[in-house]
Structure 1
Amino acid sequence: MLKERVYYADPYCKLFTAQIIKAAQDAEGNHYVVLDNTAFYPTGGGQPHDTGTLNGIQVLNVEEVEDEIRHTLAESLGSATEVEGAIDWKRRFDHMQQHAGQHILSAAFVELFGYPTVSFHLGKEIVSIDLNMEDVSPEQLDTVEKLANDIILENRLIEIKWITEDELHHYPLRKQLAVTDEIRLVIIPDFDYNGCGGTHPSTTGQVSVLKILSTEKHRGKVRVHFVCGGRVLQQLQRKNQVLAETSRLLSAPDDGVAVAVQKLLETNHSLEKSLSDTQEALLAFEAQALLKQQENGVVKALFTDRTVQQLQKLARLLVTESDEVIVLLVAESDNRLQFVAARGASVETSMKQVASATLPLINGKGGGNDAFVQGGGERLVSAEELLTVMEDSCDEN
């Protein structure tokens, strides 16, 4: 029976002895054993498996497969028929804190706003629940977090009850159950009644504290990220280190970091605008210089490490300044060639024929219209050869 499993009968059990009833290898060749009973919790219900050792050999995974709990090991136990198991208690208790905290948080959302939890994930650093809602306000989050921590501070009992389906009507369950036999309820009296197969501490006080970190929209629902117990201290330490380093870099006190960052952003925005204005002015000067070098109504130029966006801007400036020129620009970088071809308003030559002649040479892709085309591809020819082909294609008109 489920309730006789050690991890259910005594979730605080750290050491145990059991008999090996099966030793085998899975399809990937990993050694595993099945025991007559176990304190190792198998992955399930949003909670990860326990880790630890059997006869000193590392337990890598625990999962229930075909009604048997398989303990995947780092190596074979050899001819052993009995094992001494040791649970990684730090990991187990962390999972107990997070899972109980999830029950409290989910119940608080229902209690205050009627928002049900539809999924739960216990990650290595962050825990999350998905609420069947499209949005949750910051004020609601604050209210829920306060209620959850009040319940934790009250150090209420967390009761475990095994009941039958016929007894379900005696309990105001938070959500409908998916099982109908060996039903296990986790109960925080007068607050939460929930069917659950995970491990939990015996009182809410052992959760210690709960902190909501952030929310995000996920597939039409709200995902709430939070941590409990020791993970709150980990998050606080990490954020304090980041704040201290940021404070040092900005030469600002901790409580002045936000103001310093705002000033830095404003300065950065001003510099970006100044740089953009300068680049535009340089392009205008460059356009004038290129126009003076035109030959037979064609402005052509080669560049290194120019983006296609920069080529486009320069070409548009050139055809704006003179409606009688054809502009042919090529840029090379690493193993790539890019080009732009444009014509002034008084020119009839279609730039599409430039693209048609050019793209096959570089296994490229591009697009545009009769007045303006651009493209890019592999450097299968030199930039000079590509520019020559572009110019020759204009003469074919």
Structure 2
Amino acid sequence: MTRKLYWDEPYSRKFTATVEELDGNNVVLDRTLFYPRGGGVSCDIGTLGGTSVVETIRSEDKILHSLTFVPSFGKGQSVHGELDWERRHRLMRMHTAGHLLSAILYTKVNARITGNQIDVDRSRMDFNLEAFDRAQIEGFVQEANSLIQKDAAVKTYFMEREEALKRPELVKLAEAFPPAEKQLRIVEIEGIDKQADGGLHVQKLSEIGTIQLLKLENKGKTNRRLYYDLQ
């Protein structure tokens, strides 16, 4: 099992690890700062032993780092890794912005998340909404930006799965349930929101910047899509 350093040290940029598996240009380490693609969130990239990491994915309980070519290091060796920090921090900002928006839509109109894609250039979130009033959504975005100015802290912790599932506000997904883990990781925006989530987030809302609504789309009878960017 790869130790998830990105949970313990989300603001670290460099690390050292031991190569546990090597298959061509795919590397498994004993621990990593690289966040893998999943749950609609894009992955970290960077370098490992001086070679570019172009993709990071989960493979059962391991995290697979795909390099541009077969590396010079081998199994059992110690290697240095470094994240593309600008990308990582932007994804963290985007992800926390998504939580803030989903919290507001859940509170105001009982909308749950039906899909999402957190990326660097722009992000999107889908909600199960009967009506889609642009003025109303713009108001929700304005409310989110006002909350950002209050700069609430964001923290993470674990909760027993059985206890977490008794609290419906922790699961804002319309159709999916959190992973079948004994403990669920909770992301809390103090005084605003709590959600079961395995992703990476900023420590304070002020890091997000300003949320900009890009466009809205109807994606079905009750499925509405919201695209946003950050300034």
Fold shared by both chains (TM-score > 0.5): yes
How many angstroms does 1:174 deviate by?
A: 4.3
Return the alpha-carbon distance in structure 1 between the equivalents of residues 188 and 201 of structure 2.
11
Return the alpha-carbon distance in structure 2 between the equivalents of residues 131 and 66 of structure 1.
29
The DSSP-based 3-state class of the residue aligned with 2:56 is strand
Return the alpha-carbon distance in structure 2 between the equivalents of residues 175 and 88 of structure 1.
30
Q: Counterpart in 2 of 1:360?
A: none
How many angstroms does 1:142 deviate by?
A: 2.2
Q: Counterpart in 2 of 1:97?
A: 93
Q: Counterpart in 2 of 1:129?
A: 125
In the alignment, structure 2 segments of 5+ residues that lack a partner are: none
- Matched-pair contact (CA < 8 Å) for 2:111–2:127: yes
Structure 2-normalised TM-score? 0.90
Return the alpha-carbon distance in structure 1 between the equivalents of residues 179 and 219 of structure 2.
27
More strand by share: 2
Structure 1-normalised TM-score? 0.54
Pick 1 or 2: higher relative contact order, CA cutoff 8 A, min separation 6. 2
How many angstroms does 1:57 deviate by?
A: 0.4
Return the alpha-carbon distance in structure 2 between the equivalents of residues 185 and 171 of structure 1.
13
Q: Counterpart in 2 of 1:227?
A: 229
Q: Counterpart in 2 of 1:74?
A: 68
How many angstroms does 1:143 deviate by?
A: 1.6
Q: Counterpart in 1 of 2:151?
A: 155
Total equivalences in the alignment: 223
Counting only pairs closer than 5 Å after superposition, residues 331-370 of structure 1 correspond to structure 2 as: none
Q: Counterpart in 1 of 2:170?
A: 173
- Matched-pair contact (CA < 8 Å) for 1:107–1:174: no
Mapped pair 1:6 → 2:5: yes
Return the alpha-carbon distance in structure 2 between the equivalents of residues 145 and 170 of structure 1.
26
Amino acid aligned to 1:75: F
Return the alpha-carbon distance in structure 2 between the equivalents of residues 36 and 145 of structure 1.
41
The DSSP-based 3-state class of the residue aligned with 1:225 is strand
Aligned-residue sequence identity (percent) comes to: 27
How many angstroms does 1:158 deviate by?
A: 0.7
- After TM superposition, where is structure 1 displaced by more than 3 Å over at least 4 residues in a row? 169-172
How many angstroms does 1:122 deviate by?
A: 1.9
The DSSP-based 3-state class of the residue aligned with 2:170 is coil
Return the alpha-carbon distance in structure 1 between the equivalents of residues 168 and 157 of structure 2.
11
Return the alpha-carbon distance in structure 2 between the equivalents of residues 182 and 165 of structure 1.
5
How many angstroms does 1:74 deviate by?
A: 1.1
Amino acid aligned to 2:225: R
How many angstroms does 1:170 deviate by?
A: 6.4
In the alignment, structure 1 segments of 5+ residues that lack a partner are: 26-30, 233-397
- Matched-pair contact (CA < 8 Å) for 1:43–1:49: yes
The alpha-carbon distance between structure 1 residues 12 and 226, as it changes in their structure 2 partners (threshold 3 A), is same
How many angstroms does 1:124 deviate by?
A: 4.2
Amino acid aligned to 2:27: V
Q: Counterpart in 1 of 2:111?
A: 115
More helix by share: 1
Q: From the CA coordinates, give the structure whose radius of gyration is larger.
A: 1
Q: Deviations over 1:92-119 (max 9, x none)?
A: 0010010000000111111222222211
Q: Counterpart in 2 of 1:331?
A: none
The alpha-carbon distance between structure 1 residues 140 and 172, as it changes in their structure 2 partners (threshold 3 A), is same
Return the alpha-carbon distance in structure 2 between the equivalents of residues 113 and 99 of structure 1.
21
- Matched-pair contact (CA < 8 Å) for 2:152–2:191: no
RMSD: 1.8
The DSSP-based 3-state class of the residue aligned with 1:143 is helix
Return the alpha-carbon distance in structure 1 between the equivalents of residues 119 and 48 of structure 2.
25
Mapped pair 1:196 → 2:190: no
Q: Deviations over 1:188-223 (max 9, x none)?
A: 123211111111011111111111111011122111
Alignment partner for residue 53 of structure 1, among 40, 47, 58?
Answer: 47
Amino acid aligned to 2:33: A
